[in-house]
Amino acid sequence: MNQISIQNISSKNFLRTINCPFYQILVFNGSAKFEINLIQYECSDSTILFLTPYQQFKWLENNESALYLIQFHGDYYCIEYHKNMISCNGILFNNIYEKPFFNINESYYDEIVNTIEKMENEIKNEIVNPFTDSIVKSYLQLILSISSKEKSKYLTDIKPNELPNKDLIYFQDLIEKYYKAERSMTFYAAEFSLSTDAFSKKVKKQFSKSPSQLINERVILEAKKLLHLTYKSIKEIAQELNFEDEFYFSRYFKKSVGVSPSSYRKNVGISIAAK
């Protein structure tokens, strides 16, 4: 059971940046300010937050808050392998265009907290209960299912004819199409016949991130995916992502993630889905 842990923890544990190879779910109540990959966020009320491996997280307030923390390794529960059961990848995790947290209503918040406490009790009783692993995974699936259902309510279907701002959807489409070949903000600004300053302000107002940050995050997201979901060599991944060589790719990756591609693969592992 060392690949999953449940903790009742103080926010003071996150006053220094946390960057670990586990998926993390944080559940808490009240106002909060925190930083994820150097982007600052604020929230209030009942909140549930989802972090992928090596997403950098830091609490920005000195006032102490109580949090429930679930940490699990991809080898313990692979969100890609279980995607047909629970579509949380791209909803809760790995969506660079949406905030990685949301407010959850009181009844679901209470249900999730109650489920976490049940998980904690099962883990404590592991020695006398041979079914602990299956039970805890079922509880984890329940939390992910509830969260995916509730988070989906916040996401707008991408239907260009119904959206009030088609340009922002077009920008996302451009990133998806060109992020491997074009990483310059100038290229994307030119597509809208805007200066880089005007374009940057428009994008940042919507996503709380600059165009360069979004492009970089999309490249890193794909790099993480290839490291975790394939057996491709780092050299092959660098070539696929259009880097000059594997050394430049490694420097680029480490600057954003905090660890090298080889360390990321070693600690996060290669998913069962890769087989």
Instruction: Determine the residue type at 12.
Output: K
Give residues with Cβ within 8 angstroms of 152, minimum separation 6. 91
Cβ atoms within 10 Å of 214's Cβ, excluding its own: 21
CATH of domain 4-159: 2.60.120.280
pLDDT at 168: 79
pLDDT tens, 189-206?
A: 999 898 999 999 989 888
Residues 56 and 20: their CA atoms lie apart, in Å, by 8
Closest CA to 203 of 171, 177, 162: 171
pLDDT 10s digits, 73-82:
999 999 988 7
Q: Where are the domains of the chain?
A: 4-159, 166-268
Q: For 29, how many CA atoms within 13 A lie in the half-sphere containing its CB? A: 8
pLDDT score at 101: 95
Distance of CA 261 to the CA centre of its chain: 17
* pTM (global) more than 0.85: yes
Judged by DSSP in three states, 256 sits in helix
* pLDDT confidence of residue 161: 43
Which positions of the chain have pLDDT values less than 50? 1, 157-164
d(CA 239, CA 242) in angstroms, rounded, equals: 5
Pick the CATH number of 166-268 from 1.10.10.60, 3.30.300.30, 3.30.70.270, 1.10.357.10: 1.10.10.60
71 three-state secondary structure: strand
